[in-house]
Amino acid sequence: MSVSADVADLTGAGLELSISGNVATVTLARPERRNAMTPSMWRGLARAGESIPPDVRVVVVRGAGPSFCAGIDLRMFSPDGVPGEERGLSAADPGFQESIAGFQAGYTWLRNPAFVSIAAVQGHAIGGGFQLALSCDLRVLAEDARFCMKEPALGLVPDLTGTKPLVDIVGLPRAIELCLTARTVDAREAAQLRLAELVVPVADLDAAVADLVAALLSTDAAAARATKALLQAAPGNSLEQQAAAERAAQATLLRARQAG
Ligand code: ACO
């Protein structure tokens, strides 16, 4: 079923949001432009995140058509801009960073421990599209998937929350090499770099994602949420801190179960 909240609004932003049981699917739905992104789409992604029902356990992010996402709509850089989109986002504007924070909100919600987010990637994921895939907890790639952090080639830094997960996943030297050359990583290399949990033939992408979703739904919901939160905290914790966090999480989980 489609979510009632702001469906027309999301459609106008080039997005679709559907909920089936405990699974939400966000689709970038501008295939004729390879799902190129605009400020409206970034804000729409944030609104999609806000409207995820509390019982959702898995969020799948996918792109319609041959590419996952071609990154920012390059017409944003042209004098005519993109019809219907705001113009004149300038670094001289005092609200410039606040605007970017609003765009970043379209990405950060995917890390919510309430659910596991999966990027289902076929074709190109470039710039803001690569960063969207990086914002998800897991990435399932079709064999034709291609990642590219294009921003430095265009005179920009990646600013849609992708730099931290990239460094966390591939390490600092490889992240520097990938970003500062803006080269393209194919699906085989993405798997080697741990940028893909799974690489499957193009025709099998939806089935592979469905299998992964089913496996994720097979565990206890409350335990899964608490475990994702624990795992997310682990890199910033010492062993002692993490051990204490495990004890506290277990106590909270079991107390809630006894109470319920
Ligand atoms: N912005 C606006 N329009 C785009 C974009 C984009 N980022 N990407 C593709 N399109 C449009 C094309 O202009 C074309 O439109 P047309 O049919 O009116 O000519 C249509 O989508 C199809 O694109 P093709 O290039 O024909 O598709 P193909 O499958 O051959 O290539 C690819 C896809 C590789 C994604 C290519 O379109 C491309 O390189 N796009 C630009 C990618 C880019 O540099 N993005 C910016 C990243 S930086 C950032 O996100 C901040």
Residue 151 is among the residues annotated as catalytic for this protein: yes
Three-state DSSP at 17 gives: strand
Q: Pick the closest to residue 10 from 47, 58, 52, 55 (CA basis).
A: 47
The more confident residue out of 77 and 120 is: 120
Task: Give the Cα separation of 59 and 119 in Å (integer).
Answer: 9
Residues facing residue 125 across a β-bridge: 69, 147
Question: Ligand 1 centroid vs 123 CA: distance in angstroms?
Answer: 12
Measured in residues, the chain has a length of 260
Give the per-residue SS3 of 127-171: CHHHHHHHHCCEEEEECCCEEECCHHHHCCCCCCCCHHHHHHHHC
Looking up tokens 């987010």 gives: 117
Q: Where residue 47 falls among pLDDT bands split at 50, 70, 90?
A: very high
Q: For the residues 135-151, what does the mean pLDDT come to?
A: 98
Residues facing residue 165 across a β-bridge: none
Name which residue sits closest to atom 48 of ligand 1, judged by CA.
127
Question: Ligand 1 centroid vs 29 CA: distance in angstroms?
Answer: 14
Task: Give the Cα separation of 255 and 16 in Å (integer).
Answer: 38
Burial-class residue 80 by CB neighbours within 10 Å (0-12, 13-18, 19+).
exposed
Residue 4: the pLDDT is 45
Residue 88: the pLDDT is 66
Asked if the model's pLDDT at residue 8 lies above 80, the reply is no
Of residues 16, 151, 177, 197, which has the active-site annotation? 151
Residue 86: the pLDDT is 80
Residue 9: the pLDDT is 84
Asked if the model's pLDDT at residue 7 lies above 90, the reply is no
Q: Encoding tokens for residue 165?
A: 């997960």
Name which residue sits closest to atom 28 of ligand 1, judged by CA.
34
Name which residue sits closest to atom 11 of ligand 1, judged by CA.
33
Q: What is the DSSP letter of 13?
A: T
CA atoms within a 13 Å half-sphere pointing along the CA-CB vector of 244: 5
Question: Ligand 1 centroid vs 15 CA: distance in angstroms?
Answer: 17
- pLDDT tens, position by position, 161-199: 999 999 999 999 999 999 999 999 999 999 999 999 999
* Mean pLDDT, the chain, integer: 96
Question: Ligand 1 centroid vs 4 CA: distance in angstroms?
Answer: 31
Residue 25: the pLDDT is 98
Residue 89: the pLDDT is 80
Q: What is the DSSP letter of 197?
A: S
Q: Pick the closest to residue 40 from 11, 65, 63, 18 (CA basis).
A: 11
Pocket of ligand 1 (CB under 6 A): 33-34, 36, 66-67, 70-75, 124, 126-128, 150-151, 154, 156
One-letter amino acid at 153 equals A
Q: What is the pTM of this model?
A: 0.97
Task: Give the Cα separation of 42 and 72 in Å (integer).
Answer: 10
Q: For the residues 44-71, what does the mean pLDDT come to?
A: 98
Alpha-carbon separation of residue 242 from 94, 114, 206, 246 (angstroms): 40, 20, 36, 6
Task: Give the Cα separation of 126 and 67 in Å (integer).
Answer: 9
Asked if the model's pLDDT at residue 207 lies above 90, the reply is yes
Asked if the model's pLDDT at residue 215 lies above 70, the reply is yes
Q: For the residues 83-91, what does the mean pLDDT come to?
A: 83
Q: For the residues 108-123, what does the mean pLDDT come to?
A: 98
